[in-house]
Structures are given as structure tokens and as C-alpha cells.
């Protein structure tokens, strides 16, 4: 999302609606980088492995839907222009992940989660509220969320069959990017959330992962 000009509140609402549609409609997000999976050979997976990997990639796709919504909600309510620009830049990078995961899910003969619109709405609301509280809290929420994402990616990398280099390449690049987002948010002044808050976030993420894996 461009941030080089001044947008009125109404303009921003229209931009948020456009971002939501581009996130939720199939193949509507255009990645800025080609998928890391392109250079990897397709492995022959049996039906059980293919179904399991598709479920894992569906979780990651839903996670990227949530990330898009979180960043868009925070950008809408961020007070400082540089914080808003940082949120919008991070959202742009997450578009790559969103598209890569969707491509891989389709290759595995499956589909994104039908619950994505629900998760988008919830995450957008959380992001907007965090931005209203303060930019420091908003940035801290980004860091804590990305830390959770990195843990999920580490777990998924262990579960993916060794021969599935396509899925592995996507998740490895996503991990690099997500870790950088977390670091950048803290360096920009983000609040380091206490352990009880992170524990609560972890419980909520488990609800998302279990439902997205199946639906």
C-alpha cells in the first residue's frame, strides 16, 4: 500500500477494503518475489503426506491472512507516519508469503481455509485496537506475533517430509522474513510483552492452527 501521499480517513477505509479483498480472494495477491519453490523439483508424496503438508501450508496461509489483517488494522490507527509506513511495508512483504502458500496448497490438490474471512476480521480488529492504544504497543504486538509465527514455522519444518523441497524452501524463506519483522518492530520501539500475554497469544494461535489445518 502506498504511503507517499496524504490519504483522508475515507480514502484509507477504501484502501483497507481493497486490501481485504486482495487478501481473501483466490490468486488476487501479486507477489513481489517469485516463490522459492520454483527452483525445487516436485516430490512424489503419497496421499497421507500430501494431505498433511497441505494442512500445514493451509495453517501458514491463514497465518499470513491474519498478518495482513493485523498490519492493515495497525496502519489504519497508527499515530506516527513512520510507524504507519513500516506497517504497510511489512504488509507488502507478507503478500509474497500469502501467494507462495496458496500456490503450494493448490499444487497439493487442496484449498485455503474457509475460515479465513473470520480470522481476517478478528485480526484486523486486534490490530486496530493495538494501534489505538499506542504505537509502542502496536509494534510490540507485531514482534510477539512474529515470534509465534517463527515457532510454528520451526515446528512445520520438522514435520514436512525431507523430500518435499518445494514446501521446505517456502517455509525457510518465510522464517527469515518473519524473524526480520520481529527484530525490526522491537528496534523501532516496540514493547516487549510479558510472558503471561505471550502465553495468551499462544493459546489463541493454537485455536487458529487446529481449525485451519482441517478446514
Question: Residues at the annotated binding site for Fe cation?
Answer: 64, 94, 97, 146, 178, 181
Longest Cα–Cα distance in the chain? 53
Q: Annotated binding site, which residues?
A: 64, 94, 97, 146, 178, 181
User: What ranges in 39-80 are assigned the alpha helix state H?
Assistant: 47-77
Of 147, 134, 111, 153, which is closest to residue 26 (Cα–Cα)? 111
Contact 60, 97 (CB under 8 A): yes
CA–CA gap between residue 26 and residue 42 (Å, rounded):
22
**Residue 182 CA: distances (Å) to CA of 5, 20, 206:** 27, 23, 20
Amino acid at each position: 500500500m502506498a504511503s507517499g501521499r496524504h490519504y483522508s480517513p475515507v480514502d484509507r477505509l477504501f484502501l483497507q477494503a481493497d486490501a481485504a479483498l486482495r487478501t481473501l480472494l483466490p490468486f488476487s495477491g501479486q507477489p513481489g518475489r517469485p516463490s522459492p519453490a520454483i527452483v525445487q523439483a516436485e516430490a512424489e508424496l503419497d496421499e497421507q503426506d500430501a494431505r498433511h503438508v497441505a494442512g500445514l501450508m493451509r495453517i501458514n496461509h491463514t497465518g499470513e491472512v491474519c498478518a495482513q489483517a493485523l498490519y492493515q488494522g495497525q496502519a489504519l490507527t497508527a499515530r506516527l507516519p513512520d510507524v504507519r509506513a513500516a506497517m504497510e511495508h511489512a504488509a507488502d512483504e507478507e503478500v509474497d508469503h500469502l501467494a507462495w502458500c496458496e500456490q503450494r496448497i493448490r499444487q497439493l490438490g487442496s484449498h485455503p481455509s474457509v475460515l479465513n474471512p473470520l480470522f481476517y476480521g478478528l485480526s484486523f480488529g486486534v490490530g486496530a485496537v493495538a494501534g489505538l492504544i499506542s504505537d509502542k504497543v502496536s509494534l510490540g504486538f507485531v514482534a510477539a506475533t512474529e515470534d509465534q509465527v517463527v515457532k510454528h514455522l520451526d515446528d512445520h519444518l520438522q514435520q514436512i517430509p525431507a523430500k518435499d523441497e518445494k514446501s521446505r524452501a517456502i517455509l525457510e524463506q518465510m522464517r527469515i522474513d518473519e524473524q526480520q519483522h520481529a527484530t525490526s518492530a522491537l528496534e523501532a520501539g516496540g514493547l516487549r510483552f510479558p510472558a503471561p500475554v505471550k502465553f495468551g497469544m499462544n493459546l489463541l494461535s493454537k485455536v487458529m492452527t487446529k481449525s485451519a489445518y482441517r478446514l
